[in-house]
Amino acid sequence: MKSPNINILPDLKGISHAAAAEFLKIGNAAIEENDRFTVALAGGSTPRKLYEYLASDKYNSDIDWEKVFFFFGDERDVSPASNQSNFKMASEFLFKPLGINKSNIFRWQTEIIDAPGIADQYEKTIRKFFGLKAGEFPRFDLTLLGMGEDGHTASLFPRTGALNETAKITAANLVKQIRSFRLTRTFPTINNPANILLLVSGEGKAKTLQKVLENDFDAEKFPVQCIKPENGKLTWLVDEAAAQFLK
Ligand code: 6PG
């Protein structure tokens, strides 16, 4: 297997600056080519500094934000106003500071009561935006991802049903480990973008990162090992603390 493209940065700030530069490079190339930039954001805490940087004076004038269209790789089964919501985090640190138009933001409609209904609705949203036929998957210009200490990515957790979904774009994934549903894009979707940036920070992830990158493939145990874009570029952006056990 082609060795993954791993960039090791000193710390989270280094990862976030590198990710901001890549975001803008990929985004401006996409706008140049298609007059729009489609990006699927990651949730959790790692990307927060990246979002802050993109909204800061250092970077915020380097792209035409009106041509950037934001989606979410996954979401918690909570209200968009909840502190657990990935949409709320992105709104606070990216959308509001930049004044992003609502029409450029496509979030999971988590106010729908049941998780499968939320997933179905988001599938429709994505199909409509990309004009997809049955069996086609969206090709985002950029997908941002993180990795959990258990080797999950997006909301594709170890030994959960959504790992095996190959037909749908989205899934409502019952995650027994956290006793709740999570909304997630599926592997065929997550592996279809032109570019993936996978951000991993902190010593808490170091043992898992070493197993993920250097041990045998085990999709059920380490779902993040299944991130292999068919015809796209995967770049890991990890900091020294997370990379400390890599050979
Ligand atoms: C989420 C994310 C999830 C995240 C990892 C890492 O909804 O939480 O999509 O996949 O990327 O859990 O989370 P941290 O960045 O908080 O460590």
Measured by CA distance, the residue closest to atom 2 of ligand 1 is 43
**β-bridge partners, 195:** 233
Choose among 103, 78, 72: nearest CA to 90: 72
From the CA of 237, how far away is ligand 1's center (Å)? Answer: 14
pLDDT, averaged in runs of 10, over the chain (247 residues): 82 98 98 98 98 97 97 97 98 98 98 95 98 96 98 98 97 96 97 97 98 95 95 97 97
Evaluate if pTM is beyond 0.85. yes
**β-bridge partners, 181:** 174
Pocket of ligand 1 (CB under 6 A): 42-46, 73-74, 86, 146-148, 152-155
